[in-house]
Amino acid sequence: MALTVKDKAAADLHLGALSEDEKKACPWVGPQGCRVYSDRPWACRMYPLGLASPAPEPSTLGAQGPSLGARVPSPANSEKSQEEFFFMMKEQPCAGHEIQRSWTVAEWIADQGIAEYNAVGELFKAVSLHPRLLRGHNLDPAQMEMFYLACYNLDKFRQFIFESSFLRRFQLAPELEAKLRTDDLELLQFGFRWLRFALFGEPTIELKQEIKAWMDRQLKEATNPEDGRAAIHRAHDSE
């Protein structure tokens, strides 16, 4: 059984939703083992390798947050304590531990095809570990909804892009727009860009010139910046 990118995104959300029975088994496990082995998620590929990634002190992050694919910066005086490290998880029911074979971490990562999952994971981390969230910023319900839409419901996210005023407001290269119609992986990656713009105000998506000019006017003409921002939100909500 093969999983599409859409299935994988939805499955990630439900990873914690194990079966209701006593065993609390993974919903993908069958009598012959994993039913989705070739498309198993990152955590299954990594196991029994664990990865510890210490949370950075907010003060060590730049204003724009970790760049895509970047490691979290370490304070110079405690570099060692801030580094990611791997460890081995040894649990009783795992028969794999009985096999007498040694692997390096690099060999395991290559063998399990983890690199491509890491690449998308880094894009996700740039949102889910965003400095503003680490500093205690809470998303409001509408922002939470947008987060789940872009990360886990690609059909609805595609509808949002192509069946709302999105394309009238944002500048997308024609090639990208064409890809987003049919390519789920491209859509998921674009979703992370969109979230950085929509949730944290990063310049990861370009507004159309006329929209930008209109917003600038609203902000300029308002007696205070809050009124200007409110006018922009009202116009946005009414579309």
Which spans of this chain sit near ligand SF4 (rule: CB under 6 A)? 26, 28-29, 34, 36, 40, 44
Nearer to ligand SF4, 40 or 125 (CB): 40
Environment class of residue 92 by beta-carbon count within 10 Å: exposed (0-12), middle (13-18) or buried (19+)? Answer: exposed
Nearest to 97 by CA among 62, 47, 60, 171: 47
Nearer to ligand SF4, 44 or 232 (CB): 44
CB-hemisphere CA count at 13 Å for 125?
16
Distances in Å between the Cα of 19 and the Cα atoms of 22, 23, 101 are 8, 8, 32
Minimal distance, residue 7 CB to ligand SF4, in Å: 11
Nearer to ligand SF4, 40 or 196 (CB): 40
Nearer to ligand SF4, 26 or 195 (CB): 26
Nearer to ligand SF4, 27 or 54 (CB): 27
Nearer to ligand SF4, 24 or 220 (CB): 24
Q: Do you find a cis peptide bond into 48, omega within 30 degrees of 0?
A: yes
Dig out the tokens for 61 from the structure.
């992050």
Minimal distance, residue 98 CB to ligand SF4, in Å: 18
Question: What residues contact 97, with CB distance under 8 A and at least 6 apart?
Answer: 48, 90
- DSSP secondary structure string for all residues of 13-70: HTTT---SSTT---TTEETTEETTGGG--HHHHHTTEEEE-PPPPGGGS-TT-SPTTP
